[in-house]
Amino acid sequence: MAWTYEAPLRHMRFVLGQVLDAPAAWAACPAHAELDLDTACAVLEQGARFAAGRLQPLNASGDLGGCRLDEGGQVRTPEGFGRAYREFVEAGWPALAAEPRWGGQGLPLVLDACLREMLDACNHAWNMYPDLLHGAVETLAAHGSEELRQRYLPRLVSGEWLAAMALTEPQAGSDLGLLRTRAEPQADGSLRVRGSKIFISGGDHDLSDNIVHLVLCRLPDAAPGTRGLSLALVPKLLPDGSRNAMHCDSLEHKMGLRASATCAMRYEGATGWLIGEPGRGLAAMFVMMNSARLHVALQGLGHAEMAAQNALRHACERRQLRVPGPRANADAEADPIARHPAMRHALLALQAQVEAGRVMAARAALALDLAAHHPDPAVRAARQAEAALLTPLLKAGLTRLGFEGASAALQVFGGYGYVREYGIEQSVRDARIAMIYEGTNEIQAIDLVQRKLLGDGGAALRALLREFRAEAQECSGQPRLLAFARALQESCEQAEAALDALLARDDPRAVLALAQDAMDGLWWLLCAWAFAASARAALREPAEDPLWAEALLARMRYGVDWLLPRAALHWQRIRSQDLVLPEVQAAR
């Protein structure tokens, strides 16, 4: 059975139009006031055609062929990747959400997020190359000198040149304070960058002539730790067209994502230029990393969607054993496995979380749009705080859904899932990395509790809870939504009690021991809201497509009844005063 993709355009339109009322947000922002839902969906339809038609057919072959380093030290991407990238650039996709000032189309990030989900679903490895462009553009636009911006932004925005993010070194992974790459200022204002980086995605390749590296490094006499880090722009090609002194020494051989070039890079006195203030490199880099974290969340969502729809197709065709009770087809020897309760659980749990996840991701992207473009500074600040809170939750929650969802889908395929030709085993391998890079999911949990929950005394979460309670209130007026209202109200109460319990703890180690529980509990809170908001929206317009709306409602109700109870364990642990986390002993 073929591994295929049908873009979830119907659901995307529903999320933008009915659940989030994105057109109202666009109307409030002068930058997007011209946009309407039909135009937005027409853009997504074209994106879906490119993803399914051009990228998906290259996914399995890219995995088989992988990347290679040729004798001249140039990285070669798999067959077909270059042509697909040229078409992507010619169609203007890299510029979709970039500022018109630099040649961008200025469309909202929420459309870009939907596009990225589709590209990732069809070919995560291919999308690794353009995925970093947006963050690099934002970092340069926010912190680069005027000269650097004029020189690099138009060609990055158009996609003519690509970007790489060079942080990791052998001894410095999660702890960037340990990194050693050095940069020496020159009389002409440039830097000479020396050092080795590992695991650099798209550090070298043949999709674009130039690759603009944003390299985290140390200036002479820099303070130790992260306070001493600076950010340098180091291009593969210098402004006069000559090669810079930087080389890809080797490519990693990886579990998955084999068509994405993961490079060990050597900078041998490479010429670069400072971005932002000396010693403020991490702050500048965080612009890129935050945008990249949302993109990584969308990788997880793309994998989960792809896995869910292919598992469903398989489960409807594959017949094994009989389901007890009345039969749909009395003559058939066996029923489709989609009718067996265990498989129904697997499929519904995945579908409900994918649909809730899409609502959450779109909400976060819309918050970023409002934070950038709303005329009222108070709205901008509130939406910025909301996006900051949602970023670690979505990065960790959706990447876990991507991997665990793909693994659950593999189980639906049975033994066929374990063999190559069915496609799902590649998804499981490819999806796994998203839980590790862009700050591991454990680092996201620390960011969540330390910065996003405790850092502002719980203000951002309480603001979100106010909006969620308003949704529960709306649902409580409708008999078919009472269960949603109750579940959301209860989730809000549990989350608030957990927040108070965390704020009351004076031992930071105790807070860290509960970071994963906070992450998991809040994931289910977000699901409770997304289930309720989706169900209410589905009931509002049943006349348009009643069967579709009823089926969606049933999946959201499944989420309330069968998934949300999982949160109780996490809330209970956070409130408990008796839990002790022992040290791990080196010898057992």
Which residues of this protein are in contact with ligand FAD, per CB under 6 A?
A: 165-168, 173-174, 199-201, 254, 257, 262, 433, 436-437, 440, 442-443, 446
Could you give the 3-state DSSP secondary structure of residue 220?
coil
Closer to ligand FAD by Cβ: residue 167 or 488: 167
Smallest separation, CB 532 to ligand FAD (Å): 33
> Within 10 Å of residue 432's Cβ, how many Cβ atoms?
19
Is 159 within 8 Å of 95 (Cβ atoms)? Answer: yes
Tokens standing for 525? 């809170």
Q: How far apart are CA 292 and CA 135, in angstroms?
A: 6
Q: Nearer Cβ to ligand FAD, position 295 or 374?
A: 295
Alpha-carbon 452 to chain mean position: 18
* CB of residue 200 to ligand FAD, shortest distance in Å: 5
Which one, of 512, 13, 67, lies nearest residue 259 by Cα? 67
Q: Give CA–CA dist 414/404, Å, rounded.
A: 15
For residue 583, the one-letter residue type is E
Question: HSE of 93 in the Cβ direction (CA atoms, 13 Å)?
Answer: 26
Q: In whole angstroms, how close is the CB of 448 to ligand FAD at the nearest point?
A: 12
- CA distances (Å), 203 to each of 166, 226, 452, 531, 555, in order? 8, 23, 32, 40, 42
Q: How far is residue 308's CA from residue 210's CA, in Å, rounded to a whole number?
A: 38
Determine the number of helices (DSSP H) and then strands (DSSP E) in the chain: 20, 9
- CA separation for the pair 550, 541 (Å, rounded): 11
Instruction: State which residue has the least CB distance to ligand FAD.
Output: 173
For residue 325, the one-letter residue type is G
Q: How far is the CB of 417 from ligand FAD (least distance, A)?
A: 23
SS3 253: coil
- Of the pair 286, 548, the CB lying nearest ligand FAD is at 286
Q: Which is nearer to ligand FAD, 167 or 535 (CB)?
A: 167
Nearer to ligand FAD, 211 or 371 (CB): 211
Cβ proximity to ligand FAD, 437 vs 484, nearer residue: 437
Token pair in block for residue 133: 């462009």
Helix, strand, or coil (residue 235): strand
The minimum distance between CB 181 and ligand FAD, in angstroms, equals 11
Output the smallest distance, CB 138 to ligand FAD, in A.
Answer: 16
- State the DSSP string of 166-197: E--BTTBSS-GGG---EEEE-TTS-EEEEEEE
Cα–Cα dist 115/127, whole Å = 11
Token pair of 98 as six digits: 């970039």
The C-alpha atoms of residue 22 and residue 40 are separated, in whole angstroms, by 10
Q: Is 123 or 201 the residue whose CB approaches ligand FAD more closely?
A: 201
Least separation in angstroms between CB 508 and ligand FAD: 12
Q: Which is nearer to ligand FAD, 17 or 228 (CB)?
A: 228
Rounded to a whole number of angstroms, the minimum distance from the CB of residue 440 to ligand FAD is: 3
Among 438, 471, 490, 550, the active-site one is 438
258 Cβ neighbours under 8 A, 6+ residues apart: 62, 63, 64, 66, 67, 125
- Is 160 annotated in the active site? no
Element (H, E) at 75: strand 75-76
Task: Report, as residue numbers or ranges, the catalytic residues.
Answer: 438
